[in-house]
Structure 1
Amino acid sequence: MADAFRLGFIGAGNMAESISRGVIKAGVLPPSSIRTAHRCPKRRSVFQSFGVQILETNQQVVDDSDIIILSVKPQVVKEVLLELKPFFTEQKLLVSIAAGIKLKALQELSGHKRIIRVMPNTPSAVGEAASVMCTGEMATKIDEERVSSLFKAIGKIWTAEEKYFDAITGLSGSGPAYIYLAIEALADGGVAAGLPRELALGLASQTVLGAAAMVNQTGKHPGQLKDAVASPAGTTIAGIQELEKGAFRSNLISAVVAATKRCRELSQS
């Protein structure tokens, strides 16, 4: 908390809420250092419930913050930034988590060059986000460190060049949905094999969580971990053979590539 700064959110949706809660829980900032504005009383009361300051307008949020996180839907970014353009001074850092809006567009719309773009994903709600950031030309090392501290509070963060962001969206942005499908299918398989639904779903979700933790914590290649489970002529290799018949790996690869392609189309439009 030694490096305290004022954090403002333009857009008080679910992602802003997740980041705020995570930052407070991790002790990165106190609630009094965070502010936002929203027309909806319900959203205002949610943020007030854990100590975030509610201001009347987005202009006030920008004026009263050192770091401003733009967390609105991509289709309203242009309107919002043009409205706030006069309030971005050189002392302020703009952080955008709006999907598909590139640094160049953010600079042109805001008239501001001290910008960092971040792509988080929805598991931020449970503190397990996979986030990636890229920095604009005027962002400083301290800016990077501060933004990194914010997003480490809700998971893990990597740094990458902006040219990779469409593929990042296709993998980690859309990826949770692919895993939800896999969990649902595993649970259905358990039910088909005779398990009660609740038990099957619990086992499926914990198995996926455990397998991901094994990859993250052991540093071993997933193929190596897979080989350790698949004993000769055993149950696991029989299941893997069925997955290979259905092109399981190829389908996941194709899903990431298709989502990347669609993201590229949307960002160009």
Structure 2
Amino acid sequence: MADKRIDEPTGTPTVGHEWDGIEELDTPMPRWWLWTLYLTIVWGVVYVVLYPAWPLVDRATEGVLGWSSRGELAEEMSVVDQARTTIREELARIPVERLPENSELFAQAVAGGRSAFQVHCSQCHGSGAAGSQTLGYPNLNDDDWLWGGDLKAIEYTLVNGIRAPGVDDTRTSIMPPFAGAFERSQLDALVNHVLSLDGRGTSSSAGAQTYRDNCSACHGVAGEGNRELGAPRLNDAIWLYGNSPADIRAQILDPRMGRMPHWSGRLDPVTIKMLSAYVWSLGGGEELVEVAENPTVEVDAEP
């Protein structure tokens, strides 16, 4: 432009315009900056040629390398799926009670079971498997088990459920209601005897007799319970529906008995096996105890 001139103090030409006596110098960009700009342009052109870049209607330009983040993810997932398939095949072959013999496979089973537990079991038993005494969902972290806490017993419970309708082999125990069966003094004596079984109350001969006549056949003479019948222990500090005198009285008069769905047909056998391993690993799992195929249950039949 005709108005351009050389700024005398700096020797730099001006851009040719001024405002209120103020002019702008036409200072050239540093060489390193220009070369960086040129290199980024070249890099951009190369990237557009080699990799997906321009979006189209239903896809993007593929690039001469044929690479995509989706394709890379698919390859990685394929590797993971193959590893998972291998583990599941191994789990399908090994009996659940022998899982602890293979520490690596057992760890994989516990990890898979933990994920399955959060999806299928945490709604009732809680995310930490602590259960809910208010709602009657058992705590799976302790060592109190109605039907046994070894891997085979836990797997059986998961497969067949507890009082699950339409399942022939479901776990079943029934406590009869005793409403109207006792006078008030008899009921109070019975509650005190039950409290005495875990050291919290004082028993009487009347309470002990009422217990022997009505309760010992299932719960045992000393309140030790009976797993073959699903009768809970009464001589420890673990109670499903509360351990106050009022809770015990309510359970005697009108028993609450929960249900657990059966998972056979809903979950595949390997997932059930992993769930068994996870529940067993929570802290209350027991060693396998072999029992007779048709065990005989002895009860105290004394009047």
Is TM (by shorter chain) over 0.5?
Answer: no
Interval of TM-score (by shorter of Structure 1 and Structure 2): under 0.3
Structure with more of its chain in helix, by fraction: 1
Q: Which has the higher contact order (CA 8 A, sep 6+)?
A: 2
Structure with more of its chain in strand, by fraction: 1
TM-score when scaled to structure 2? 0.21
TM-score when scaled to structure 1? 0.23
